[in-house]
């Protein structure tokens, strides 16, 4: 049974996520038979180096025996039990460990079964906290432009990537949008820190004016992932924490993509030396094995819900698979690896290699910037380097890099015209060099030619779309 066989059976019955299915009339779908470490292998034995950690979830490689064994032991013991009225060993142990490794003050863990649902939990909890505290007017959320927080309707409302939200505008909550501290947009000669500090003025202004009606500010700390791996300086988060305290507004950190070592520290908030009121984790939480999200919060928030049943102050929210034991087992094994292997330290060498292997691309005539925060590195392709003029999205330049990389045995899936590496932490320095070579070739190919724009194409490039 070859690739063609599985592709045909797939296309007869499936509808794929974030995909214009018509694209598959000419773009082959790649059925994967097995994975091992950084590699994915198709049904014809061709291997692809997973440079994007399978949508940012996989940190210790595919078919990792240490995670696999832990799940196998758990599956023979207890596969699932509902978490209302019941409990189990893996969920207790995981919660204890998450409280221990996250910044001081985060003492309670609530579970959901995917990132978007975790965001819904944080938004609802924040609003409900204020309601329980006698401040029902605090019901709006402040968000940054170009942010992404998931696909469910409230999570979409606090996001700002046009590709995902424009179509559904009529359904969305009314939020307050503040310009992102995105350092790609900083004036020439200005440092990341200066720019992030300057951009904070708009946030300060919004909070000063609206704090009485604001429940929380929600941010992706340090890296706006789906918005094109745009990055900013931790000073912004430090200033934001201070302002949220001053104005009596919650701070929600969406560390779904950046948590678990991606930015160079275990959690991004460590770099700002702060504790958010809500910390949302998912993706790498289970090493990329099973869907799960955790929302950590403070005694202060928890206390506002703790009362006699009849007061109806409880948080009556649940997802069926909340606290699933198999997902907890995968998360526990993942945390063991972080601890036993000194991963955060070891990653420093890999991050340095990612920088040196791609440094030459900064001189490329169609690369505006090579930027990096820890184990995330992004290369911004542009039409005009001096003016940072973006390619028209309809030209789908990133798609050419994607297609080239596949022929060379790498899975690089650009966000619009942004080529990025977000590899599993088990990648080797030689494999990083290989990715850099493939990316360089792909960028050369994608920027060399002029492209005719198909008229019928009316969408934007963006997250999960190799556009
Ligand atoms: C992926 C992601 C989400 C959504 O998580 P899902 O599990 O896909 O629902 C939310 N926020 C950020 C920052 C993400 O990267």
Domain positions in the chain are 3-63+343-448, 68-341
3-63+343-448 architecture in CATH?
A: Alpha-Beta Complex (3.90)
Residue with tokens 């069926």: 320
Cβ partners under 8 Å of residue 1, min gap 6: 43
The pLDDT of residue 266: 98
* C-alpha torsion angle, residues 146, 55, 420, 66 (rounded to 10): 130
Instruction: Using the Cα atoms of residue 11, residue 409, residue 374 and residue 296 in order, give the sign of their dihedral.
Output: positive
- Which atom of ligand 1 lies closest to the CA of 258? 13
> How many angstroms does the Cα of residue 342 sit away from the middle of ligand 1?
26
> What was the pLDDT predicted at 27?
93
The count of other CB atoms within 10 Å of the CB of residue 69 is: 12
Locate the ligand 1 atom nearest the alpha carbon of residue 152 and give its number.
9
Cα-to-centroid distance, 453 and ligand 1 (Å): 31
Å from CA of 290 to ligand 1 middle: 14
Distance separating alpha carbons of residues 49 and 452, to the nearest angstrom: 30
Determine the Cα–Cα distance for residues 229 and 420; give it in Å rounded to an integer. Answer: 8
Using 70 as the pLDDT threshold, list the residues of the chain that sit under it: 451-467
Supply the pTM of this predicted model: 0.96
The residue whose CB lies within 8 Å of the most ligand 1 atoms, and thus the one to mutate among 222, 256, 268, is: 256
Is 109:294 a contact under the CB 8 Å cutoff?
Answer: yes
Residue 5, pLDDT score:
97
114 lines ligand 1 (CB under 6 A): yes
The residues near 334 (Cβ < 8 Å, ≥ 6 apart) are: 59, 60, 67, 260, 284, 285, 286, 287, 289
For the chain, the C-alpha Rg in angstroms (whole number) is 22
Residue-wise DSSP of 23-81:
GGGTSPP--EEEEEBTEEEETTS-EEEETTHHHHT-SS-BT-HHHHHHHHHHHHH-S--
CA-based nearest residue to 435, from 463, 408, 396: 408
Question: Which atom of ligand 1 is the closest one to the Cα of 117?
Answer: 9
Q: What is the number of other CB atoms lying within 10 angstroms of the CB of residue 104?
A: 8
Is residue 150 within 6 Å of ligand 1 at its C-beta? yes
* Residue 115, ligand 1, Cβ within 6 A: yes
Binding site membership of 257 for ligand 1 (Cβ less than 6 Å): yes
Top CATH class of 68-341 equals alpha beta
Q: To test the ligand 1 pocket, which listed residue (18, 115, 228, 258) has its Cβ within 8 A of the most ligand atoms?
A: 115
| Mode of pairing for the β-strands spanning 214-219 and 250-254 | parallel
Give the torsion sign (CA, 41, 289, 8, 423).
negative
Of ligand 1's listed atoms, the one at least distance from the Cα of 116 is 9
Give CA separation, 164 vs 195, 220, 255, in Å: 28, 17, 20
Give the CA angle between residues 429, 434, 439 to the nearest 5°. Answer: 125
| Domains 3-63+343-448 and 68-341 equal at CATH topology level | no
Q: Is 120 in the pocket of ligand 1 (CB under 6 A)?
A: no
């Amino acid at each position: 049974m070859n690739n063609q066989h599985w592709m045909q059976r797939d296309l007869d019955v499936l509808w794929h996520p974030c995909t214009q299915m018509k694209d598959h009339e000419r773009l082959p779908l790649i059925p994967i038979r097995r994975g091992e470490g950084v590699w994915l292998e198709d049904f014809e034995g061709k291997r692809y180096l997973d440079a994007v950690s399978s949508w940012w979830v996989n940190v210790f490689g595919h078919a990792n025996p240490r995670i696999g064994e832990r799940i196998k032991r758990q599956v023979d013991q207890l596969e699932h039990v509902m978490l209302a009225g019941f409990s189990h060993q893996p969920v207790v142990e995981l919660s204890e460990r998450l409280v221990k490794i996250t910044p001081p003050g985060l003492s309670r863990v609530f579970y959901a079964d995917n990132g978007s649902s975790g965001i819904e939990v944080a938004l609802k909890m924040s609003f409900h906290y204020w309601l329980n505290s006698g401040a029902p007017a605090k019901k709006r959320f402040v968000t940054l432009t170009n942010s992404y927080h998931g696909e469910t309707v409230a999570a979409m409302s606090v996001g700002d990537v046009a590709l995902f939200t424009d179509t559904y505008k009529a359904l969305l909550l009314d939020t307050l949008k503040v310009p992102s501290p995105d350092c790609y947009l900083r004036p020439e000669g200005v440092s990341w820190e200066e720019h992030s500090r300057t951009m904070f003025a708009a946030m300060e202004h919004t909070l000063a004016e609206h704090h009485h009606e604001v429940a929380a500010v929600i941010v992706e700390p340090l890296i706006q992932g789906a918005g094109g791996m745009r990055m900013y300086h931790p000073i912004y988060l430090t200033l934001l924490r201070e302002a949220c305290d001053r104005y009596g507004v919650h701070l929600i950190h969406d560390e779904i993509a950046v948590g678990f070592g991606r930015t160079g520290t275990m959690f991004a908030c460590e770099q700002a030396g702060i504790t958010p009121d809500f910390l949302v984790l998912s993706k790498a939480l289970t090493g990329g094995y099973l869907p799960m999200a955790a929302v950590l919060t403070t005694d202060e928030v928890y206390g506002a819900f703790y009362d006699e049943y009849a007061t109806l102050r409880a948080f009556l929210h649940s997802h069926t698979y909340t606290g699933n034991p198999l997902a907890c087992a995968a998360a526990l094994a993942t945390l063991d690896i972080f601890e036993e292997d000194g991963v955060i330290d070891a990653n420093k060498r890999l991050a340095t290699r990612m920088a040196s292997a791609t440094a030459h691309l900064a001189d490329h005539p169609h690369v505006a910037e090579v930027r990096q925060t820890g184990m995330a590195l992004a290369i911004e392709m542009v039409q005009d380097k001096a003016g940072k003029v973006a390619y028209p999205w309809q030209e789908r330049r990133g798609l050419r890099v994607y297609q080239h990389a596949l022929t060379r045995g790498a899975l690089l899936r650009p966000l619009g015209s942004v080529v990025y590496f977000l590899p599993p932490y088990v990648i080797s320095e030689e494999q990083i060099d290989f990715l850099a070579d493939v990316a360089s070739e792909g960028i050369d190919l994608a920027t060399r030619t002029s492209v005719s724009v198909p008229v019928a194409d009316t969408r934007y490039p963006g997250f999960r779309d190799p556009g």
